[in-house]
Amino acid sequence: MGKWWHKFGWIGSTLLGSAVFALGFAMFLEPGDMSAGGISGLALAIVAIFGVGSVGTISILINLPLFLLGGMKIGKRFFAGSLIGMISSSLLIDQFSRFAIHGLDPLLAVLYGGTVCGLGLGLVFVTGTSTGGSDIMVRLLKRKYRNVPIGQISMVFDGLVVVLTGIVFRDVSKALYTGVTVFLCGKVIDAVIYKFDYSKVALIISDYHEEIARQIDVRLERGATFLHAEGSYSHAPKKVVLAAVKKQQLAELKELVVEIDPKAFIIVQEAHQVLGDGFSRYSKNSL
């Protein structure tokens, strides 16, 4: 089962994420002429301008030329996965339109629509694929700007859709609401992709550093590193224990340190990503 999931599980995650995105868009955003940016937002504007077609159909037509670029630049799996994501999300947007909630307060539509769409896109992005369109461009930009969170890149890219929404519908409030949706969607994308990967890094200052490091290895099955330091008052040499642990191991780490040395000085901070043995592995397609 583990091998099968590692090889094909990303397809299920892509389909699930695409369905969640489509549901959020069709149920909360489309009824109020708002979007979460990207190709779906552009398609919504085109349907409003010309009065023909549906958001799902127009999305597919816009996406087709972009797939050649994405497939050549990022690889076969990204191409195949994004094709699955694009087709499923586009078709499901039209299917889920029957669940549209009309007359919903715009602020509620923005909050729920942005959150649900961001959750869906985050699930898709985690698999290393996309739902096509602007997602392909965002992934390509991410490869160039490695230190910028993907949600921020998405927000900048989708800002153009916000402006277009205001122009097409001649309603500044719709543009502003769309802007809030894009912002919230980007934040949720980052939360899905990065937040679950957060670990903790602890700096422990104690005269019992050897025993503390040993117990971290034995009880938590985590490595530790000694940093050489010097006391500012005594100028005595010190060894600081540096250890990276999973969030759920933090309480146990603090307990074992206090058991060994109740006077130990402990500094705990967030680690955005920890790469290496026992944590995630780096890939050139990592987000």
Mean pLDDT over residues 124-150, rounded?
Answer: 73
pLDDT digits (tens, 9 = 90+) for 43-52: 888 888 888 7
Lowest-confidence segment of 20-24, 60-64, 206-210, 249-253 by average pLDDT: 60-64
How does residue 276 score in pLDDT terms, banded at 50, 70 and 90? low
| Mean pLDDT score, 181-206 | 82
- CATH number for domain 199-271, candidates 3.30.1450.10, 3.90.1150.10, 3.30.70.120, 3.40.50.300: 3.30.70.120
Q: Which residue has the tokens 């299920």?
A: 12
Domain ranges (residues) in the chain: 2-196, 199-271
More confident residue, 26 or 198: 26
Residue 197 has pLDDT above 70, yes or no: no
The residue that leads in pLDDT, 118 or 157, is 118
Residue 102 pLDDT greater than 70, yes or no: yes
Cβ atoms within 10 Å, residue 97: 17
| CB-based contacts of 215, cutoff 8 Å, min separation 6 | 256, 260
Is 22 or 199 the better-scoring residue by pLDDT?
22
* pLDDT at residue 145 greater than cutoff 90: no
Q: For residue 23, what are its two tokens?
A: 């549901």
- The Cα–Cα gap between 279 and 2 comes to 18
pLDDT of residue 273: 62
Give me the pLDDT at residue 284, please.
52
Best CA proximity match to 119, nearest among 69, 66, 209, 189:
189
pTM: 0.65
HSE, CB side, 13 Å, CA atoms: give it for residue 54. Answer: 13
How large is the average pLDDT for residues 162-183? 82
Q: Cβ atoms within 10 A of the Cβ of 255, count?
A: 11
Closest CA to 241 of 200, 203, 199, 214: 203
Please name the residue that has the structure tokens 């995630």: 280
Transcribe 140-169 into DSSP letters: HHHHHSTTS-HHHHHHHHHHHHHHHHHHHH
Higher per-residue confidence, 9 vs 284: 9
pLDDT at 160 exceeding the cut of 90: no
Mean pLDDT computed over 41-64:
82
Mean pLDDT to the nearest integer, 98-111: 91
Q: Is the dihedral of CA 159, 162, 166, 168 positive or negative?
A: positive
Q: Position of tokens 């397809």?
A: 11
Share of the chain above pLDDT 70, in %: 83
Q: What is the pLDDT of residue 214?
A: 93
User: What's residue 67's pLDDT?
Assistant: 74
Residue with tokens 């694009």: 86
pLDDT surpassing 60 at residue 278 = no
Task: List the end-to-end C-alpha distance of the chain, in Å, as a whole number.
Answer: 26
Q: Is 187 helix (H, G, I), strand (E, B) or coil?
A: helix
Q: State how far the Cα of 72 lies from the Cα of 154, in Å rounded to an integer.
A: 21
**By the 8 A CB rule, do 55 and 93 touch?**
yes
Using one digit for the tens of pLDDT, what is the confidence trace for 205-264? 999 999 999 999 988 888 899 999 988 888 888 899 999 888 778 888 999 999 999 999
